[in-house]
C-alpha cells in the first residue's frame, strides 16, 4: 500500500494584519480591538512555525494571502471613483467596513475549506469545499479566492475534486475544517469524519447561545453528501452552548484529533456519550482514545485563553507517539502547563509537547491549529501538488526577505485610511506572484 501523509497548508499572514475587533464571540478579537498590530512580526511568526514543522520532518505547504483591502467588495457596496478615492470615502463614512475590507483573516487556513481524503470518498478523489464563512462579513469575502488558490495547488481533476462554497445564506453557515475532525487507524485507511455544528437552522434549534453559533448542521450534512462520504462513516456532533458562550466559537478551540485520538475539553460537546458511541461504532473494532481534560483541572476559561486545544496533534516521522504543537500561551498558564506535563506521563499516545510563538495571530483568536489546513495525501496525490506552494528552506528564506522589504512593523486602526497602505500591499502581492511563478493572479493585477 502506498504511503499516505498528512500535509499542513498554513496561511501566509498578509501585510494588513490588524486588530479590528470584528468577531463577536471570539474573545481575543473583541478584547484586543484597536490594539496596534505588528504585521511583519506576525508573518515572521507564522513562517517560523511552518519551518519548525518542516524541520520536524512534516510536509508543509503555504496558502498565499488574499488581496486586502478588497476594493471589489467596496465597489459592490456602492463606492466608486479611483481605488484611492474609494478608500478615502469608506474611511470617512464607514470605518468598520474599511476594517473589514482590510482584514488579513484568510491567514486562518483551518477556515479555508473542508477537505476529505480520497480513502473516505466514493469516487476515490480528494474533495475540497471552500468555507462560505457567512457568519462574519469580513470572512465571507474569502471563499472565492480560497477556491482559486486551492484549484491552483491541486490541479489534476483525476485526483482532486473542487466544489463551490455552499450558498443559501446563514442557514448554510460553514466554517470549514475548524469544525471538522477525522479519525482513522492510518491516514491512508478509510476514516470516520466528525462534523461539528453549533446550530440547527431547519427545525428545532439546539438551544440559544448568547454568542453566534457559526456552523450549521445543514451545511455539514451538505458537505458530507457532496464529498461522497460513506454514510456509516460520518458522525454529526454538536458544540456545547456553554463552550460557544465561553468564547469557543469554533470546535477547534476545544478539541483536536489525530489518527485514533480525539483530545478535547470535557465540556466541548453537547450529548457527549451519544457522540463517543457513534464515533466508536463507526470506527469499528479498534479502540478510539477519547482524551478529555476535566474542567476541575483546566477550566473552560483557561482552555480558551491558553488555546491548549488549538494545537496540532501530529505523528513525527517514524514514531507511533504523538506530539502536540501548542501555543506558548499554554506553557505560560501554570495550570494548563501542569495538566500537559501530567498528560504526557499518562497511558495515551500523546507523549511530546512543542510550543510555538504565534502571539500576533493569537491576539485575534488564531492559534497554531487555526493557521493550518490539513490535507491527507497518498504518494500519487502528493506528486500532483503544485510545488510552488510547498515550503522549502529556500522559499522560507525568500519569503522572509520579501516580508522584511514590504511589511510594516506596526499598523494602527487609523493607518487603514492611508492610501499608501493600499499600494504597499499590492506591491508586496505583486512581487509574491513573481516569487511563486503565478503570473497575474490577483484581481488588482487583472484590470
Ligand atoms: O474567524 N478572527 C478569526 C479567528 C479564526 C480562528 N480560526 C479557527 N478557530 N480555526 C475569526 O474569528 C478577528 C479579526 C479582527 O477582529 O480583526 C478574526 O477574524
pLDDT tens across 86-119, in order? Answer: 999 999 999 999 999 999 999 999 999 999 999 9
Note the pLDDT of residue 206.
53
Q: Using the mean position of ligand 1's atoms as its centre, give its distance from the Cα of residue 258 in Å.
A: 23
Asked if the peptide bond before residue 69 counts as cis, ω within 30 degrees of 0, the response is yes
- What is the model's pTM? 0.98
Q: Residue 199 domain-assigned?
A: no
- Among candidate residues 165, 172, 166, 169, the one with its CA nearest the CA of residue 151: 165
78 vs 396: CA distance, rounded Å: 40
Note the pLDDT of residue 208.
78
- Is any ligand 1 atom within 6 A of the Cβ of residue 370? yes
Q: Using the mean position of ligand 1's atoms as its centre, give its distance from the Cα of residue 318 in Å.
A: 34
Note the pLDDT of residue 387.
98
What is the atom index within ligand 1 of the atom nearest the CA of 21?
Answer: 16
Note the pLDDT of residue 170.
85
As for how many domains the chain has, the answer is 1
What is the atom index within ligand 1 of the atom nearest the CA of 369?
Answer: 10
Q: Residue 348 domain-assigned?
A: no
Q: Are strands 180-183 and 192-197 parallel, antiparallel or unpaired?
A: antiparallel
Query: Ligand 1, atom 1: nearest CA belongs to which residue?
Result: 23
Note the pLDDT of residue 202.
78
Q: Tens digits of per-residue pLDDT, 230-270?
A: 999 999 999 999 999 999 999 999 999 999 999 999 999 99
Residue 161 annotated to the active site: no
Average pLDDT of every residue of the chain: 96
Domain that holds residue 2: 1-108+373-447
Q: Are strands 261-265 and 289-293 parallel, antiparallel or unpaired?
A: parallel
Q: Tens digits of per-residue pLDDT, 348-366?
A: 999 999 999 999 999 999 9
Q: Using the mean position of ligand 1's atoms as its centre, give its distance from the Cα of residue 39 in Å.
A: 15
Q: What is the CATH number of the domain that holds 23?
A: 3.75.10.20
Q: Tens digits of per-residue pLDDT, 353-404?
A: 999 999 999 999 999 999 999 999 999 999 999 999 999 999 999 999 999 9
Q: Residue 43 domain-assigned?
A: yes
Q: Exactly one of 6, 67, 142, 175 is catalytic; name it.
A: 175
Note the pLDDT of residue 18.
98
Residue 175 annotated to the active site: yes
Among 9, 11, 13, 23, the mutation site with the greatest number of ligand 1 atoms within 8 A of its Cβ is 23
What is the atom index within ligand 1 of the atom nearest the CA of 310?
Answer: 9
Q: Exactly one of 250, 265, 329, 381 is catalytic; name it.
A: 250
* Contact between residue 129 and residue 161 where contact means Cβ atoms under 8 Å apart: no
Q: Using the mean position of ligand 1's atoms as its centre, give its distance from the Cα of residue 28 in Å.
A: 9
pLDDT at 135 over 90: yes
Neighbours of 294 (CB within 10 A): 11
Q: Residue 326 domain-assigned?
A: no
pLDDT at 205 over 60: no
- Is any ligand 1 atom within 6 A of the Cβ of residue 413? no
Q: Residue 421 domain-assigned?
A: yes
Percent of the chain at pLDDT exceeding 90: 96
Note the pLDDT of residue 168.
86
pLDDT at 204 over 60: no
Q: Residue 160 domain-assigned?
A: no
- Among candidate residues 40, 10, 108, the one with its CA nearest the CA of residue 365: 108
Residue 238 annotated to the active site: no
What is the atom index within ligand 1 of the atom nearest the CA of 136?
Answer: 1
- Is any ligand 1 atom within 6 A of the Cβ of residue 110? yes
Q: Tens digits of per-residue pLDDT, 261-302?
A: 999 999 999 999 999 999 999 999 889 999 999 999 999 999
Cell of 258: 489525530
Q: Residue 63 domain-assigned?
A: yes
Note the pLDDT of residue 183.
98
Amino acid at each position: 500500500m502506498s504511503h499516505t501523509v498528512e500535509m499542513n497548508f498554513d496561511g501566509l499572514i498578509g501585510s494588513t494584519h490588524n486588530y479590528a475587533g470584528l468577531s463577536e464571540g471570539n474573545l481575543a478579537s473583541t478584547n484586543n480591538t484597536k490594539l496596534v498590530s505588528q504585521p511583519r512580526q506576525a508573518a515572521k511568526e507564522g513562517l517560523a512555525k511552518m519551518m519548525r514543522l518542516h524541520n520536524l520532518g512534516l510536509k508543509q505547504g503555504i496558502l498565499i494571502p488574499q488581496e486586502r483591502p478588497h476594493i471589489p467588495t467596496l465597489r459592490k457596496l456602492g463606492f466608486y471613483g479611483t481605488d484611492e478615492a474609494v478608500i478615502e470615502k469608506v474611511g470617512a463614512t464607514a470605518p468598520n467596513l474599511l476594517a473589514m475590507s482590510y482584514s488579513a483573516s484568510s491567514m486562518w487556513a483551518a477556515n479555508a475549506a473542508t477537505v476529505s481524503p480520497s480513502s473516505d470518498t466514493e469516487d476515490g478523489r480528494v474533495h475540497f469545499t471552500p468555507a462560505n464563512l457567512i457568519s462574519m462579513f469580513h470572512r465571507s469575502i474569502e471563499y472565492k479566492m480560497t477556491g482559486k488558490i486551492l484549484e491552483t495547488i491541486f490541479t489534476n481533476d483525476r485526483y482532486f475534486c473542487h466544489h463551490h462554497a455552499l450558498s443559501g445564506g446563514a442557514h448554510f453557515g460553514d466554517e470549514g475544517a475548524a469544525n471538522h475532525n477525522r479519525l482513522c487507524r492510518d491516514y491512508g485507511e478509510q476514516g470516520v469524519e466528525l462534523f461539528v455544528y453549533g446550530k440547527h437552522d431547519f427545525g428545532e434549534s439546539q438551544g440559544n447561545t448568547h454568542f453566534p453559533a457559526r456552523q450549521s448542521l445543514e451545511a455539514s450534512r451538505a458537505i458530507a453528501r457532496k464529498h461522497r462520504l460513506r454514510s456509516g462513516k460520518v458522525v454529526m456532533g454538536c458544540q456545547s452552548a456553554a463552550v460557544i458562550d465561553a468564547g469557543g466559537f469554533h470546535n477547534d478551540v476545544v478539541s483536536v484529533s489525530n489518527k485514533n485520538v480525539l483530545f478535547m475539553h470535557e465540556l466541548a460537546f453537547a450529548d457527549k456519550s451519544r457522540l463517543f458511541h457513534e464515533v466508536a461504532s463507526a470506527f469499528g473494532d479498534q479502540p478510539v482514545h477519547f482524551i478529555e481534560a476535566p474542567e476541575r483541572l483546566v477550566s473552560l476559561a483557561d482552555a480558551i485563553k491558553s488555546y491548549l486545544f488549538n494545537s496540532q496533534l501530529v505523528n513525527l516521522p517514524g514514531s507511533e507517539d504523538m506530539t502536540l504543537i501548542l501555543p506558548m500561551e499554554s506553557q505560560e498558564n501554570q495550570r494548563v502547563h501542569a495538566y500537559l506535563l501530567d498528560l504526557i506521563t499518562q497511558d495515551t499516545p500523546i507523549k511530546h509537547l512543542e510550543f510555538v510563538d504565534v502571539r500576533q495571530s493569537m491576539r485575534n483568536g488564531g492559534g497554531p491549529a487555526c493557521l493550518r489546513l490539513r490535507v491527507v495525501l497518498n504518494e500519487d496525490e502528493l506528486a500532483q501538488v503544485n510545488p510552488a506552494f510547498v515550503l522549502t528552506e529556500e522559499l522560507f528564506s525568500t519569503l522572509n526577505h520579501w516580508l522584511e522589504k514590504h511589511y510594516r512593523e506596526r499598523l494602527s486602526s487609523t493607518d487603514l485610511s492611508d492610501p499608501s497602505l493600499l499600494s504597499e500591499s499590492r506591491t508586496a502581492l505583486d512581487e509574491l506572484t513573481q516569487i511563486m511563478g503565478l503570473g497575474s493572479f490577483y484581481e488588482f493585477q487583472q484590470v
